[in-house]
Structure 1
Amino acid sequence: MRRGISIAAAVTVVALAATACGGSDDKADGKPKDPKDVSGTITYWDTSDAATEAPTYKALIKQFEAKYPKIKVNYQSVPFTDVEQKFKSAAKSGKGAPDVVRTDVGLMAEYASLGYIAPLDGTAALKNTSDFSTGAMNTAKFNGKTYGVPSVTDTLGLLYNKDLLKKAGLAKPPATWDEFIADAKTIKKKTGAYGTYVNPDSYFLLPLLYSNGADMADPSAKKITVSDSSAVTALTTAKKIYDEASMKVDFANAYQNMQTAFKNGKVAMLIQGPWSVSDDLTGSAFKGKEANLGYAPVPAGAGGKAQAPTGGHNLAVYQGSGNLDASYLFTQFMTSTESQITIAEKTGTLPTRTSAYTTAVTSNAKIAGFKPILEKTARPRVALPQVGSLFTPLQQNYVKILQGDSSVKSGLDATAKQFQTLLPGYSIG
């Protein structure tokens, strides 16, 4: 189904704009409003892990309320898997949407195109923006405006079991996909463990596409590129990894089985993100021996460059909020250097501000491991409102390719045709 602005949504956008203009403003009589005079109650939807991360955010909210006693924050924990549809439904209807939402960076363009979130340029929400990493800041922009403030960031890298690589006689992790396949075979032959476990989720296919000079689409040319020759090369490599280097994949429960196999030493290398490390360290291969977990960039492809998608979360302000001033101040506070340092130290997530990478923060092995990977390989996903929808047909056909039910070319051709229903006016190039 096409993700665009329906008639109902367009009406909602007009209503939201009117609400926003009629609510509080960042200025009064042409002068900036004094933060000490800002008052009201705002609702914040937090998608961080309710058990391990939410307590840190709740503690920061208490600090915010102490600093701004006239502002109260209604904290609500919303599961990451539920927040997209819940927020869009509330924003479209104009009922029940939060004033501030923690959102996946991949959803910014869609929310902005629908008029659900407010542009933040010139507001109190954006302060000291030069301190944000370029990659993180780019995830918050759409059509020349800034719609979010980067909170935490991540990317995909190559996690590996140092002991298994050493037993296989490998002095370093693979730097190319060809080396990745060759090393996986060596590991299996010399240790009995599998080289890798292919994650059939299409998001984890992006490093292969990017490193071969491919992508899903080209907005500047209005072309669908997911079936071009570079994409065929990428998927051919992915199929070869699956056939020659991977443990057998249980497609019904791939992620959990992949994690279990890696953390217990049955698989030596994974393309994964920093969110998995806490789980990795509970397995027999790494529990009590954290130093055995290695971090490296994703391998490079035929394009000669290793690249992976920039991930993470931004804070966005609802366009229809009746308390914009308070929302801006809250967003600024929660993304400040001081708050990011606290979040990084307590949760192990990676900051988006360069100033937040203190000695204490980088003493965390996960943060120290992924920081250079972010700087070296992370790049934004294609900036399209429909980008989230594109992953579904890509994944469906990717699975068919891996399972042998479709050739690489026919699978990608089918994906490109499905993309055309989601990207009106785009040609297959």
Structure 2
Amino acid sequence: MYEGTTPRTAGSWPLRVLPAVLVPVALLGAACSAPGSGNTAAATGEPAVSTSLGTGKVTLQMYAETGFPLAKALADEFTRQHPNVTFKVREDQFTVLVENAPRVLAGDNAPDIMRLPTMVDLVKDGLLKDLDPYVKAYGWDKFPAAQLAQLRVDKAGQRGTGPLYGAGLGYSVTGVFYNKDLAKKAGMTGPPATVADFEALLAKAKQAGVQPIVQFNKNTAGINFPYQALQNQFADPAQVNDWVFQKTGATFDTPASLKAAQTIEKWAKAGYFTKDANAMDYTTMVGDFVKGRGLFMFNGDWESANLDTKMPGNVGFFLFPAEQAGGKHVAMSSPNTFGIGARSKHPNEAAYFLNWLHTDAKARKILVDVGGSSPGGPAVLAVPQAKAGTVLASTLAASQQLASENGAVDFTANATGSIFASAITPELQKLIVGQQTPEGYVKAVQQEYAKELSR
């Protein structure tokens, strides 16, 4: 979901969801501090970096996103394997996480491990631990570079390069889930090859009396999933990532962004979205899809295991198609991002947990079975297999296909700390009910972005 992603960003969604080159790591004795601080462990009184878990009793404070069982499942398995380490897990809705993150991380009882809504502002404020010493200590520099790029922030506050400040609890991919029974009713014989083919299916579903898309848009803009799916096809993916990563000169006000907004407006007027989308939250959307109230649902692979349980054999998944036949696939894909608080009382134990979940066989199986996502980690480790014919198998295959085509793009909701709540969500809510124009939408998002970067 957004970091999403989730609904997250790299976060709710995940969060999530890229290309960069790993930079030299700090010395093993260096403190995990903000870029440019120059502090050492000895000078700050922080514990030296260690990869030994030890045997002493430790309680790790974890702050996670409610509604997603993955973090708790991993914590329980870790404690089963390492009984001296227990977890105190606090959960909140993603919108609350966004609002609370700076205050919680700055507090006296800051979490050791926290689901990160966005990273740049937290890094600038010195609230996250620089993980580069652990990169060297654990060999994370052997992970595929693209896997960690979204989690790096440089001294200028741009993502993609610089020290590492987070890790993924799974690396998610987004696309389109579809109800196989309703697909037959709508005359769908296979995944669409182009955007035009997809739009033709929407029209056929409407004509057949099938709701084309069930999509939430309350509190956090779920319609940003189909919006960015379109934007990714109409634009150079590098331009989208540049805007999310706050590269100089990048803008949201582009012909591709406008074309995507015009398409969303067209779909809304045609009745392709659920009529009450602005009153529908994420949980209701998933529930309605399970009940057969819509052909398509734009969402991420974190729902795979849930849908296999509740709709066995009746769910398919595909990456949103390219604009032209034969074009490569481009999709939002990001880590379900967690970081270590700069004020963590147990940073070494927290880092041990982050390394464990990437490398332990049972943890990787949980990431697939519960999280529905690729576990990431060293390229030499095989991805646990999903049962043939399941939607989980489809989403894992889609993740591997996206990686092979290098088509992963970060969630636009991750561009700044407030862009999702301050602009994308309210402006998309207005767009689909005719209170905002496509031109007004792209300009409003860019204006908010510029305002936040100028602060």
Q: What TM-score results when the alignment is normalised by the length of structure 2?
A: 0.74
CA contact (8 A) 1:187 1:194 kept: yes
| Structure 1, unaligned runs of 5 or more | 1-11, 27-32
Q: Aligned in 2, Cα 1:147/1:188: closer, same or farther, shift over 3 Å?
A: same
Q: Deviations for 1:325-365, whole angstroms, at most 9, x for unmatched residues? A: 33332332233232432423652432123525123x46582
Q: Give the one of 200, 204, 215 matched to 2:240.
A: 215
Residue of structure 2 equivalent to 1:298: 320
Residue of structure 1 equivalent to 2:442: 412
Q: Give the one of 62, 67, 73 matched to 1:45.
A: 62
Q: Aligned in 2, Cα 1:334/1:17: closer, same or farther, shift over 3 Å?
A: farther
Q: Distance in 2 between matches of 1:36 and 1:196?
A: 48
Q: Distance in 1 between matches of 2:194 and 2:251?
A: 23
Q: Aligned in 2, Cα 1:313/1:36: closer, same or farther, shift over 3 Å?
A: closer
Between 233-242 and 390-399, the greater mean CA deviation after superposition? 390-399
Residue of structure 1 equivalent to 2:82: 65
CA contact (8 A) 1:158 1:271 kept: yes
Q: Deviations for 1:272-291, whole angstroms, at most 9, x for unmatched residues? A: 112334554576xx3xxx22
Q: Distance in 1 between matches of 2:324 and 2:430?
A: 24
Residue of structure 1 equivalent to 2:452: 422
Q: Give the one of 255, 265, 279 matched to 1:252.
A: 279
Between 369-378 and 196-205, the greater mean CA deviation after superposition? 196-205
Q: Aligned in 2, Cα 1:77/1:338: closer, same or farther, shift over 3 Å?
A: farther
Q: Aligned in 2, Cα 1:414/1:162: closer, same or farther, shift over 3 Å?
A: same
Q: Give the one of 312, 337, 340 matched to 1:317.
A: 340
Q: Give the one of 181, 201, 210 matched to 1:163.
A: 181
- How far residue 296 of structure 1 moved from its aligned partner, in angstroms, is 0.4
- How far residue 216 of structure 1 moved from its aligned partner, in angstroms, is 8.4
Q: Aligned in 2, Cα 1:411/1:314: closer, same or farther, shift over 3 Å?
A: closer
Count of aligned residue pairs for this structure pair: 394
CA contact (8 A) 1:337 1:356 kept: no
- How far residue 297 of structure 1 moved from its aligned partner, in angstroms, is 0.3
- How far residue 113 of structure 1 moved from its aligned partner, in angstroms, is 2.6
What SS does structure 1 have at the residue aligned with 2:212? Answer: strand
Residue identity over aligned pairs, in percent, reads 17
- How far residue 156 of structure 1 moved from its aligned partner, in angstroms, is 1.3
Q: Distance in 2 between matches of 1:171 and 1:239?
A: 27
Residue of structure 2 equivalent to 1:97: 110
Q: Distance in 2 between matches of 1:13 and 1:292?
A: 49
Q: Does 1:147 align with 2:189?
A: no
Between 256-265 and 312-321, the greater mean CA deviation after superposition? 256-265
Q: Distance in 2 between matches of 1:365 and 1:336?
A: 25
Q: Distance in 2 between matches of 1:424 and 1:382?
A: 18
Q: Distance in 2 between matches of 1:14 and 1:415?
A: 31
> Where do 1:202-281 residues align within 5 Å?
203-204=224-225, 205-213=227-235, 215=240, 218=243, 222-223=248-249, 225-244=251-270, 245-253=272-280, 255-277=282-304, 280=307
- How far residue 131 of structure 1 moved from its aligned partner, in angstroms, is 6.2
For 1:333, the aligned partner's letter is: W
Q: Distance in 1 between matches of 2:67 and 2:427?
A: 34
Q: Distance in 1 between matches of 2:437 and 2:53?
A: 63
Q: What TM-score results when the alignment is normalised by the length of structure 1?
A: 0.78
Q: Deviations for 1:115-171, whole angstroms, at most 9, x for unmatched residues? A: 111111232786343664554322322221111222212121111122222333332
Between 128-137 and 240-249, the greater mean CA deviation after superposition? 128-137
Q: Which has the higher helix share?
A: 1
- How far residue 185 of structure 1 moved from its aligned partner, in angstroms, is 1.2
For 2:330, the aligned partner's letter is: Q
- How far residue 294 of structure 1 moved from its aligned partner, in angstroms, is 0.6
Q: Distance in 2 between matches of 1:228 and 1:251?
A: 26
- How far residue 231 of structure 1 moved from its aligned partner, in angstroms, is 0.9
CA contact (8 A) 1:203 1:391 kept: no
Structure possessing the higher radius of gyration over alpha carbons: 1
Q: Deviations for 1:203-262, whole angstroms, at most 9, x for unmatched residues? A: 412222222116386357523522221111111111122222334234122545543442
For 1:62, the aligned partner's letter is: T
For 1:374, the aligned partner's letter is: S
| Structure 2, unaligned runs of 5 or more | 1-33, 155-161
For 1:300, the aligned partner's letter is: A
CA contact (8 A) 1:158 1:297 kept: yes
Residue of structure 2 equivalent to 1:358: 384
> Where do 1:329-408 residues align within 5 Å?
329-344=352-367, 346-350=369-373, 351-353=375-377, 354=379, 355-359=381-385, 361=386, 365-375=390-400, 376=402, 377-381=407-411, 386-390=416-420, 392-408=422-438
Residue of structure 1 equivalent to 2:52: 35
For 1:332, the aligned partner's letter is: N
CA contact (8 A) 1:195 1:267 kept: yes
